[in-house]
Amino acid sequence: MKDLDFAFIGQRIREIRNEKMLTQEYIAHAVDVNVSHISNIETNKVKVSLTLLVRICNVLDTTIDYILENEYHSSDSVIEHELINIFREMEKERQETLLRIAKIL
């Protein structure tokens, strides 16, 4: 079995954090680590532990499946799950708009 792609994991954490407009300081404080540790995870200077990854995912309101998407043979269920999460957070009007767009695609 190959090693986990920690560079991708760090990159995915950074992408989600930036999408949610959260700082490394915010994440570090929320998971009780130094800011430099979050930076080192995002830049692949250290490997994130499973315990810390779970805590980071909880703060980012995402799933470990989404973070580890490249490690699975089939990522369809991961993408579907993320779409469902995003959809649930939308207002009813936006859900209807998204549904119409999806049907066109």
> All domains of the chain, ordered by start, with CATH?
1-71 (1.10.260.40), 73-105 (no CATH)
Pull the structure tokens for residue 78: 């991961």
**Each residue's pLDDT tens digit, 46-95:** 999 999 999 999 999 999 988 988 876 665 667 787 888 889 999 999 99
Share of the chain above pLDDT 70, in %: 93
**Model pLDDT, residue 1:** 53
In terms of DSSP H, where are the helices of 1-105?
6-19, 24-31, 35-42, 50-60, 64-67, 76-89, 92-104
